[in-house]
Amino acid sequence: MNNTASSAPDPIVVGLVANRLHSLLDEQQTALVNTAFSPVVRESLDLACAVFDSRGEMIGQSVHGTPGHINAMATGMAHIAARYPAVELAEGDVLITNDPWMTAGQINDLTVATPVFLHGRLIAWFASCCHSPDIGGRILSAAASEVYEEGLRLPILKLRTAEGPNEVLEAIIRANVRTPDETMGDIYAQVAANQVGARSLCRLLDEFELSDIDAIAAEIMRRSEDALRAALRELPDGTYRARAHSDGFGEQELVLEVAVTITGEQVEVNYAGSSPQSPYGVNVVLNYTRAYTSFAIKAALAPDVPHNAGSFRPVLVSAPEGSVLNCVEPAPVASRHLVGHFLPSLLFDALRPAVPGGLPAASADALWMTVWRGGSAAEATPFTLTVFGAGGSGGRPGKDGLTTTGFPTGVRAAPTEVLETLTPLVQGRREIRPDSAGAGQQRGGLGQVVEVWRRGDTPWTVNANIDRVVHPAPGALGGAPGARGEFVDVSTGEALPRKQLVRLAGESAVRLSFPGGGGYGDPLARPVDAVLADVVNGYVSITEAWDTYGVAIDYTGAPDALVRPPHTYQVDWSRTRSDRNP
């Protein structure tokens, strides 16, 4: 079966190929995860994998991955394809870049792209974007004043050719990072995973007797575009606005404003009114702003539609140049997720009146990222480890928010055993944080409490790249805000500086209390049985149940009991009815 650009592809073949592409993308991701060196990729899945047509337009993505990686890489491939057109490429070439303004908005995120050739002709691309365990410069934080301080910045370069690796480039990378083996090991894993995808794609084309993938890719993209446009046509035309606050850096909070204008089958998202770019590394490049905007629109309107370049086309995104959502070089950008992750909740807030069935309340939003370092002269084995954690997501129409589950990112927390095996650090405490969820008819998800100390008496450091310590996640439709986050010294209870290096004595211990998601709807409308279940499960205290939900609950078991079965809690219906029906 020969497929040409002038003939429409067989719809059955399109469906079969689309399904097979999903399988080979999962194969690509599995190869990446199984060969990666760092827990950032191997355990936390801070990555994205995708396949592109010959022009660099995304056909599909793997199941896992973060919107900031996959969507930014999808639009960033245009830079890569433009820098190296087909005539300058050959089989065996592999390209690499971490330029924030071209891909994922942060120097720690490395994109590796591999052109795929069949019978000597460029037919497709495979690429992945992974968070590097280290890229030099400052330990990842928001404290830099220019992007130059944040680490090694790589323009679009050839990492490999058919003759072998670019040894000079590899030597430069190794000489500029604190984790040379892990960093290069992850890069090798990205190269290998792309090769796995490329081989599988060539076998697929041979099986279906196709000379290229472009015509089928165009049809896959068209279907996604049509589906999103159809969803937009179902909404009332108009302009919908919202405003949100993030903690920013130090005492300089940031304001995010959006106007979402729906006109027929198109939506324009404009962030005019947002704060000017910051002198610190919480700035967002426009590529990353587009990434989380397109994700939010699709998640709100057409979550089941396959994700590809077609689903980007109906969404037009703009932000004033020089604003915190469209920063200009050489702005520092290392902690751009602490602002970019707010955009889906901001857009949900704007679109809630227009979307039938409603949209979730705000989440803890910004992923909490801590970078732990032991590298003093007295350190027997220096270490640098990046650890992720999540607060609660917002309450949803008809469902509670998810507890300790990241939204909008899909990055996972590594198991405690990984941290304690790779470093002398100890997680002395890791548990659900009671009363952290925003109250509502559907409550928000809960945060967690984590305490960390280290073995030995050697000094160590931590950078806590966190948010919602000042501004909690607001509720929706009468729901209450989630709890604020906290970052404190365990022994003194004093708050520690955020988004910058904190030097710790050997005997120090720190506590991170993650924020909760906002509640959805009036707390007094929450079913009494649901409040009772929350108390039994330790999510809500008896005091909170009464003060916020108007549900009086008595504990009848032994005061010192560690195990408290459900039958030891009873609802005082007389007081409850009186409070809920004054």
Q: What is the pLDDT of residue 200?
A: 97
User: Concatenated DSSP letters for 262-322?
Assistant: EETTEEEEE-TTPPBPPSSS----HHHHHHHHHHHHHHHH-TTSPPSGGGGTTEEEE--TT
Is residue 110 over pLDDT 60?
A: yes
What pLDDT is stored for residue 582 in this prediction? 60
**Residue-level pLDDT at 387:** 95
Per-residue model confidence (pLDDT) at position 406: 85
pLDDT on residue 378? 80
Predicted confidence (pLDDT) per residue in 492-505, tens digit: 999 999 999 999 99
Q: What is the torsional sign of CA 188, 386, 288, 358? A: positive
Q: Does residue 86 carry a pLDDT above 90?
A: yes
Average pLDDT over residues 243-259: 95
Q: For the chain, give the percent of residues with pLDDT over 90.
A: 92
Residue 449 has pLDDT above 60, yes or no: yes
- Proportion of the chain above pLDDT 70, given as a percent: 98
- Looking at every residue in the chain, the average pLDDT score rounds to 95
Rounded Cα distance, 82 and 86, in Å: 9
Q: How confident is the model at residue 381 (pLDDT cuts 50, 70, 90)?
A: confident
Confidence of residue 186 (pLDDT cuts 50, 70, 90): very high
pLDDT surpassing 70 at residue 408: yes
Query: Is 4 a residue whose pLDDT tops 60?
Result: no
Q: Tell me the residue type at 184.
A: M
pLDDT for position 301: 95
Rounded to an integer, the average pLDDT of 509-526 is 97
Q: What pLDDT, in 10s, does the model give residues 283-313?
A: 999 999 999 999 999 999 999 999 999 999 9
CA–CA separation, 187 vs 542, rounded Å? 51
Amino acid type, 117: F
Q: Between β-strands 266-270 and 315-318, what pairing exists: parallel, antiparallel or unpaired?
A: parallel
**Cα torsion for 414, 24, 55, 318, to the nearest 10°?**
-40
The neighbour count for residue 95, using CB atoms within 10 Å, is 21
Compute the average pLDDT of residues 548-569.
95
Residue 377 pLDDT > 70, yes or no?
yes
Which phi and psi angles does 534 have, rounded to 5°?
A: -65, -40
Q: Identify which of 439, 435, 242 has the alpha carbon closest to the alpha carbon of residue 345.
A: 242
pLDDT bucket at 548, cuts 50 / 70 / 90: very high
Residue 369: pLDDT over 80: yes
CA atoms of 274 and 317, how far apart (whole Å): 14
Least confident of 108-117, 220-229, 481-490, 572-581: 572-581
Mean pLDDT, residues 194-211: 96
pLDDT confidence band for 1 (50 / 70 / 90): very low
